[in-house]
Chain A
Amino acid sequence: MARARPVPGFADSGSFCEAAARAVRIRVEEVFERAEGVLDIEDIERVHDMRVATRRLRAAMEIFAPCFAKKQRRALLNEVKALADALGARRDADVAIVALERVGDAMPAADLPGVEHLVSELRDEQQQANDELAQALDRIEAGGLHERLLALTVERAPEPAVTM
């Protein structure tokens, strides 16, 4: 799993919301940097890294919620969550297949058909989840999610209310 990229100038931020803009910008970039090769089911770490990046972005958007216009933030967060769900469905199948194959390697040959049956079902689910992930990636590309998330960090609008 890739470590989170440090946020330059974070500790020196003059205010909570100045730190928010810096942190969210870096976390947005991390998500989209990890999109390459994510549909490759032979290299399951790519989908894992992008999923973790979406988690970190969601966390930052939630931590710094008071720094952004509520309606805009919620709408963007929902889109990030939809992407995270698609990544999560692929990841769940990836992880289950690896775990079952590991168990299968330790089983006597007579026990293998049952495990292989389960792996076969999971491979179908993995492919379906990958197709859905491809659609999700197309949607965020067409909808300009990357650019809109970056714009959020530029046009941040702290609200007088301090609830999230």
Chain B
Amino acid sequence: MKGLDPEGPLNENLRRIVAVRGAELRGLGSAVLDPGDVHALHDTRIAAKRLRYVLELGEPVLGPNAADGAKRARHIQHVLGELHDCDETLPRIARVLERLRGEDATAIRAGLAPNASDVDPESLRRARHRRKYAGLESLAAYTRARRDVLYAEFLRIWTDLEQSGTLEWLGAGAG
């Protein structure tokens, strides 16, 4: 970060850092309107985290607005963290389902005669994972719904942040 003065006053240096961190978060404003832009949401979470920690540290110098800003940043970080967990869980479930299906198909084929012309439905008894699919599919549906709800919650928090004047306060160097 440019423009810091190591031997200068704490107050002025902190305000400069807060202004830069605030600008980073504000700069992501339009990108976060795409619920599928996983990278933008990740960048927003990181920007909120960086802002949160400088505000938490600087609160004794920057005053109560810093505490409010840190609280808002922490909320964004939390909701986007939960949303990120959904983005990790969904492909994980898909990978597990694919692997289990493959293992079951292999087990069914392994029980057939070498010259079998078709597969008897009774062979399903050899599919040892067959009772797992319903739960995994339900979990995927739940996780997808949860992601949608968390994104809507994030938009509410973001809109509230924009309307609160916090971004302007940050942009003005917390002054």
Contact = CB atoms under 8 A, between A and B. Distances in A.
A15 B89 contact: no
Interface of B: 1-10, 13-14, 17, 49-50, 53-54, 56-57, 60-61, 85, 89, 92-93, 96, 100, 129, 131-139, 142
Contacts of A38: none
Contacts of A67: 6
A75 interface: no
A96 B142 contact: no
Interface in A12-60: 13, 15-19, 23, 55-56, 59-60
Interface stretch (A3-11, A78-86, A130-138, A141-149): A3-11
Instruction: Name A's interface SS.
Output: helix
A117 B135 CA distance: 10
A113 to B, nearest CB: 5
B7 A15 contact: yes
A13 B61 CA distance: 10
A111 B135 contact: yes
Contacts of A16: 4-10, 13-14
A121 to B, nearest CB: 7
Nearest to B1: A164
Contacts of A7: 57, 60
A111 B137 CA distance: 9
Nearest to A99: B85
Interface string A82-114: 000000000000011001100100010011111
A112 B134 CA distance: 9
Contacts of A19: 10
Contacts, number: 108
Interface residues of A, number: 42
List the 9 shortest-distance A-B pairs measured between CB atoms, nearest first.
Answer: A114-B135, A59-B53, A111-B135, A114-B136, A158-B6, A114-B132, A11-B60, A16-B13, A19-B10
Nearest to A121: B96
Contact of A111 (B50, B129, B138): B138
Contacts of A162: 2-6
B50 A59 contact: yes
A124 interface: no
A151 interface: no
A106 to B, nearest CB: 9
A85 to B, nearest CB: 15
A160 to B, nearest CB: 9
A115 B61 contact: no
Nearest to B92: A118
Contacts of B136: 114-115, 117-118
Contacts of A56: 53, 56-57
A107 B6 CA distance: 57
A91 to B, nearest CB: 11
A112 B135 contact: yes
B135 A107 contact: yes
A154 interface: no
Given A112-B135, A113-B131, A164 B53 contact: no
